Structure 1
Amino acid sequence: MPELIKKYVRLTDRISDVTGIIAMYLIFAMVFILILDAVSSGMQIYLHWCIELAQFILAAYYFMGGAKTMKDGDHVRMDLLYDRLSPKGKTWIDLVTIFCLLFYLVVMLIGGISSLEYAIQTDERRFSMWNPSLVPIKALMVGCLVLMILQTVAEIIKHIADLRGTPLTASAKDAA
């Protein structure tokens, strides 16, 4: 593989790792906010923003964790037949499903961009007492979809390299 492609794969993997680690720490922020809400409610002080902010953090958590999950091979897979395949057969199945995923992610990205544009143009807000803007979470969603697409392309490159007999990195399956 050309050096530029290897650098792309390494950079994408690194960005996915960092984004995934940031997502991991969001859980602590969410737990803190939920505890704050419980304690303040017990003291008859009602913070109307706590539950909604926790929901936004949870959404950010799963958006941001997607690329790292894919990179590490930690996603859910139906192993009924997959485990019985040879490594080369698994790679071929992974390539087929990754192309399906890529199509799905591109469609999601098109919808996400449309939704973000609408949110920006109309200053879309969540109808609630707190009334937060939806632009930040939708922008994060679009950014994370782009990262997922970049990671998907990196995974395609890794699988092609595996089929050619020149693996770029140790795959998550080999590490397990």
Structure 2
Amino acid sequence: MPRVLILYVRWVEALNYRIGRLAMYLLFVLGGVLLWSIIAKAFFRPSLWTQEMAQFTMVGYFVLGGAYALQLGANVRMDLLYSRWSLRRRAMVDAVTVLAMIFFLSVVLYGGIDSTLYALEIGERSRTVWRPYMAPIKIIICTGVFLMILQSVAFLIRDIALLRGEKI
């Protein structure tokens, strides 16, 4: 494999590893928001922002950690036949399915960018009482989807290398 492709795979996997490890700490942020919600409901006036902030934090956790989960192989795979196949056959099937995943994620990213630009142009806000701006969470979603596309391309490069008898 060309050195630039090997460097791409290593760079993408290092980036997604770091972002995924940082995203794990969003669970502590989520816990803090939910703890404040409980305390506020019990002792003060209930907060208007806690439920939606918890949702936004969870979205960030899932989306920013998505590429890291792909990297670790934490995604669900139909293992009925897959586990019995040779590494070469797995690579062939993975190369085809990763193309479908890249296509799907590209469509999601296209729609996400369009929605984000719209949110930025008009200053879109949530329809809840708190009314936060929607652009920041949409930017986070687009970033996470982009990272998953980068990771999917890295998988494709790895699969092609394996089919050529090389290992990255």
- Please give the range of the TM-score, normalised by the shorter of the 2 chains: over 0.9
Give the match for residue 21 of structure 1: 21
Name the TM-score, length of structure 1 as normaliser: 0.92
Distance 2:40 2:14 in 1: 40
Following superposition, the deviation at residue 4 of structure 1 comes to 1.3
User: Aligned partners of 1:44 and 1:16: how far apart in 2?
Assistant: 40
What do you get for the CA RMSD once the two structures are aligned? 1.0
- Residue number in structure 2 paired with 1:162: 162
Q: Distance in 1 between matches of 2:159 and 2:69?
A: 16
Within 2, Cα distance between the matches of 1:140 and 1:35? 24
Where do residues 60-75 of structure 1 align in structure 2 (5 Å cutoff)? 60-75=60-75
Residue 31 (structure 1) aligns with:
31
2:70 counterpart letter in structure 1: M
After superposition, give the CA deviation of every residue in 1:54-100 in whole Å (9 maximum; x if it has no partner): 10000011110111111111111111111121111111111111011
Looking at structure 2, the residues matched to 22 and 38 of structure 1 have their Cα atoms a distance apart, in angstroms, of 26
Cα distance in 2 for residues equivalent to 1:50 and 1:32: 10
* Number of residue pairs aligned between Structure 1 and Structure 2: 168
- The whole-number CA distance in structure 2 between the counterparts of 1:11 and 1:40 is 44
1:10-159 aligned within 5 A = 10-159=10-159
In structure 2, runs of 5+ residues without a counterpart are: none
Q: Deviations over 1:116-175 (max 9, x none)?
A: 11111111110112110000010111111111111111110011111112110xxxxxxx
Deviation of 1:44 (Å): 3.3
In structure 1, list runs of 5 or more residues that go unmatched.
169-176
Query: Which residue identity lines up with residue 16 of structure 2 in the other structure?
Result: S
Cα distance in 2 for partners of 1:84, 1:8 equals: 30
Q: Deviations over 1:100-124 (max 9, x none)?
A: 1011011111100111111111111
Moved over 4 A (4+): none
Between 1:99-108 and 1:138-147, the stretch displaced more is 138-147
Percent identical pairs in the alignment equals: 38
Deviations 1:2-35 (A, max 9, x none): 2211111111001100110111110111011101
Identify the residue that residue 173 of structure 1 maps to in structure 2.
none
- The letter for the 1-side match of 2:97 is T
By how many angstroms is 1:45 displaced? 2.3
